[in-house]
Structure formats: structure tokens, C-alpha cells
Amino acid sequence: MAKAYWVATYRAIRNPEAMAAYAKVSRPAIEAAGGRVLARGMPAAAFEHGQMERVVLIEFDSVASAKAAYESAAYKAAHDLLGDEVDRDIRIVEAAD
């Protein structure tokens, strides 16, 4: 079974306090679901229409476990703290062979 990666990019963070509250709760929820945060923060560089926006990269043992983490009650509670205070894109991709 191939590992999977949850890639989140933030286009806008309108409320830093909501983001901080989310970050405090989301990481333990993700880690409890088997996720390992590999990288988070602003890109060191961006190319080919890439944007200098916050990125978070989380590794899971499988696509199923990544999806289950996103759909878990613990992560939903964290997600609810954001409300509509951020614009972001979350993608789950399977690792290459």
C-alpha cells in the first residue's frame, strides 16, 4: 500500500486568531489519525505561477487513512474553528512508486 500526502495551500488567512486556534487543535487530531507533519510554512521559493502562500505537507500510510483523518470527528472540530476565515485548497495524493 502506497503512502499518501495531504497537501494544503492557504490563499488567504483573514483571521490569524482563528488560524492559531485551528493549528492548536488540528495537529493533535491529525497525528491521532496517523498523520505526520513533514513541512509547514511559507515556501522557500515558488516557480511557474506558484504562489508564496502557506503550505502544509502531511504524510499518511495510505489514501484511506488520509481521507479518514480529514473526515474524523476530531479534525472536524478543528476545522470548525476556521469558519470562513481562510481560503485554502487541500489535496490528497498517493506517493509515486
CA distance 23 to 36: 14
Give this prediction's pTM.
0.91
Chain segment 44-79, per-residue pLDDT in tens: 999 999 999 999 999 999 999 999 999 999 999 999
CA 86 → CA 12, 47, 65, distances in Å?
5, 23, 24
Q: E strand or H helix at 22, and its extent?
A: helix 16-32
Cα 18–70–73 angle (5° rounding)?
75
- What mean pLDDT value characterizes the chain? 96
Q: What percent of the chain has pLDDT over 90?
A: 98
- 4: phi > 0 → left, psi -120 to 50 → alpha, else beta; which? beta
Cβ–Cβ under 8 Å, residues 83 and 14 = no
